[in-house]
Amino acid sequence: MKKHAIVAGNWKMYKTPTEGHDFVKDFVNLMLNIEDMEVIFCPPFSALFNIDVVLKETPYKLGAQNCHWKNEGALTGEVSVSMLKNCGVGYVIVGHSERRHIFNETDKWINKKVKAVLIGGLKPILCIGETLDQRKSNETKDVLFYQLKEDLNGVEKLEDVVIAYEPVWAIGTGETATTEQVSKAHKWVRDILLDLYSQDIAKDTSIIYGGSVKPENAGELFEIKDVNGFLIGGASLKIDSFKEIILTVNKKLKV
């Protein structure tokens, strides 16, 4: 039986501060039972402060979608960890596939970001995952190994790190990985953590899945042994679908 779950909603570049504020206000008013769960809203930077005001005194958490590793500087368009912290942020998504593939973020940068987030006292949600070509040429495990090794280089403890396995070909495409593919990949991630760290760290690190999770598939995906929750894009933008996924996970936690 799983004791804890993480469900994070990645809004990407959707919702104005006003829309985000109203969405979260309505969501909080649903008074969902989220016992034993971390439910995290990750809006665009511009909506963070407005949403933090609503989330204060609630069990919900606030996350950002990116950060820079420096504390301040002449870096037009960037936002630092301390700035995010001041907006009430507790988690930062790092290395999302859209950042890697559209904005050409390298593993070196991602590693600097992971470390900056941890030094700043926040928790990184580190995204890793293979492209379709890499999967087709049976490179998935090697890609996961490379990304984990590079992105976590110099990080000694993982108690504040969440790993999100997100196969690139399943993000925003409506194409979910099969339960067999997810199960295998999450087991590989645990095996890699065992290789790079220790048995305890491999066992205790939260590994969440992301890639077209919706109310219809959340139940069977959460039943997979090494899946500790979800990172959700599209389905986190609507109250009904995000709520359904949370209720499904919560119900499974009680079984």
Q: Of these, 83, 221, 231, 245, which contacts ligand PEP (CB under 6 A)?
A: 231
Q: Can 220 be counted among the known catalytic residues?
A: no
Give the sign of the dihedral formed by CA 216, CA 207, CA 111, CA 141: negative
The kind and range of the H/E element at 33 are: none
Q: Can 96 be counted among the known catalytic residues?
A: yes
- The rounded distance, in Å, linking the Cα atoms of 96 and 12 is 10
- The rounded distance, in Å, linking the Cα atoms of 2 and 81 is 31
Binding to ligand PEP by CB under 6 A, coded x per residue (else -) over 188-217, reads ----------------------xxxx----
- The rounded distance, in Å, linking the Cα atoms of 224 and 190 is 13
Binding to ligand PEP by CB under 6 A, coded x per residue (else -) over 146-165, reads --------------------
Helix intervals (H) in 36-160: 48-55, 81-86, 97-101, 107-119, 132-136, 140-151
Q: Of these, 79, 114, 233, 241, which contacts ligand PEP (CB under 6 A)?
A: 233
Q: Of these, 51, 166, 189, 205, which contacts ligand PEP (CB under 6 A)?
A: 166
| Chain residue at closest Cβ approach to ligand PEP | 233
Catalytic one of 21, 38, 68, 96: 96
Q: How many Å separate Cα 252 from the centre of its chain?
A: 20
Q: Of these, 232, 246, 249, 253, which contacts ligand PEP (CB under 6 A)?
A: 232
For the bound state, the minimum distance from the C-beta of residue 65 to ligand PEP, rounded and expressed in Å, comes to: 9
Burial class (CB in 10 A: 0-12, 13-18, 19+), 67: buried
**167 touches ligand PEP by CB under 6 A:** no
Catalytic one of 38, 98, 105, 166: 166
Report 1-60 residues binding ligand PEP (CB under 6 A): 10, 12
**Which three-class secondary structure state does DSSP give residue 1?**
coil
Residues annotated as catalytic (active site), given as ranges: 96, 166
Given the rule CB under 6 A, which residues bind ligand PEP? Answer: 10, 12, 166, 171-172, 210-213, 231-235
